[in-house]
Amino acid sequence: MTASTAARELLTGMTGREPEGIWSAPGRVNLIGEHTDYNEGFVLPFAIPHRTYAAVALRDDDRIRVASTFADEPVEVPLNELDELFPTAPDASPAVPEWSAYVLGIAWALRARQPDAPTPGVDIAIASDVPVGAGLSSSAAIEGAVASALNELWGLGLDPVALAQVGRRAENEAVGAPTGIMDQMASMLGRPDAATFLDCRTLETRSIPTGFTAAGLEVLVIDTQVSHAHSTGGYRERRESCERGAALLGIRSLRDASISDLPRAAEAMDEVTFRRVRHIVTENQRVLDTVAALTEQGPRAIGELLVASHASMRDDFEISAPELDVAVDTALAHGAIGARMTGGGFGGAAIALVAHDVVDRVTDAVTQAFADAGFTAPHIFAVSPSAGPHRDA
Ligand code: ADP
Ligand code: MG
């Protein structure tokens, strides 16, 4: 059964009625630009074919009820009590089951944004084929699907960037996850065969054709299925190093440093902080270089930038993991044009840019290398840059 059908059936089972419509939004993968978002730098993600579906029916009262194939039972609250549930206190868990806070948080953030709009009650059923917690942003997908549905059913007329901001607000303030806006922008602005360049300071975006499809290329996602225990602490430490580095350079954020500042940075700080800074500064440049290479030379020209990005994360930022290094090295040894870990690090997924005719060879080689190393078997699948949210039915 497709996820779209699963959402419809969950809704009809819950309400005995057909949905008004089914809306969906994609997950995303980051092609390049890692840990640059909170340094006000550049990222280049794209939306993937995997999507989350929200089947929605209007109610004749003022309540919101949400269900997911993911959860045992629906959660139902009066819409006008959302303001009592959210925002969730800092460092606390939401007062509702966490998964439902993604959905209820969207309703809350939309109503807060347009307090005068009439917002009739709704039943919402969610189903998804975006892997959860694999770094593919199932969270942005669920936010985007629900935000798109309610935007239309409530007649709010918000544009995709506004809906991305609503998604971020729900995730930050309702769920309580302190994330940037990259994931929501990548999902909301997805286009077939294009990546989204995002300037995380100005929120300027540009759609960058990747040319992957025309060149016969695919991006393999190699989900290592591991998440190392130090990931939360590691993330916080990296953020602090970046802030310290910027302070020592006398700049607002590392966005304001360039490669020519690195010799000065080496003098101004300890060796570890310097390497953290060097990753961010060079990674920002690699994002710009990737955009230029895609635009001027085509997708085969970005391989070396992907490889350099991985080396920088492994050696300077120190957020790789043995599984990610094996995935990248093996993919490259068996014909990938480029490969790198993607996402926050310490586990999660790597990506490899490969021609159609080596997909099987790379997949088999990585699977074998994981077995030889005694790692958990990876989950490997191909994605290509895909469309943003739309109404499916
Ligand atoms: P990811 O990298 O997949 O975005 P997150 O931790 O940011 O990981 O978001 C995953 C969370 O989003 C899940 O734990 C769940 O609470 C919520 N979520 C994602 N997809 C669904 C779904 N289909 N149904 C219910 N909740 C979902
Ligand atoms: Mg997420």
Parse the chain into domains and list their residue ranges. 3-207, 210-383
Kindly report the protein residue whose alpha carbon is nearest to atom 11 of ligand 1: 139
In the annotated binding site for Mg(2+), the residues are 139, 171
Ligand 1 site: residues with CB under 6 angstroms?
52, 68, 70, 98-99, 102, 126, 128, 132-133, 135-139, 142
In the annotated binding site for substrate, the residues are 34-37, 235
Task: Check 61, 123, 129, 183 and give the catalytic one.
Answer: 183
pLDDT at residue 90, as a whole number: 87
pLDDT at residue 72, as a whole number: 93
- pTM for the full model? 0.95
**Domain spanning 210-383: CATH 3.30.70.890:** yes
pLDDT at residue 178, as a whole number: 84
- The hierarchical CATH code for the domain 3-207 is 3.30.230.10
pLDDT at residue 46, as a whole number: 98
Kindly report the protein residue whose alpha carbon is nearest to atom 9 of ligand 1: 139
ipTM (interface predicted TM): 0.99
pLDDT at residue 179, as a whole number: 85
Ligand nearest to the CA of 134: 1
Dist. CA 229 → ligand 2 center (Å): 18
Ligand nearest to the CA of 75: 1
pLDDT at residue 341, as a whole number: 97
Q: 183 an active-site residue?
A: yes
- Pick from 38, 26, 24, 22: nearest CA to 140: 26
**Fold match, 3-207 / 210-383:** no
Ligand nearest to the CA of 100: 1
Could you say which residues of the chain have pLDDT below 70?
Answer: none
Kindly report the protein residue whose alpha carbon is nearest to atom 10 of ligand 1: 139
- Asked whether 331 and 201 are in contact (CB, 8 A), the reply is no
Atom of ligand 1 nearest to the CA of 99: 16
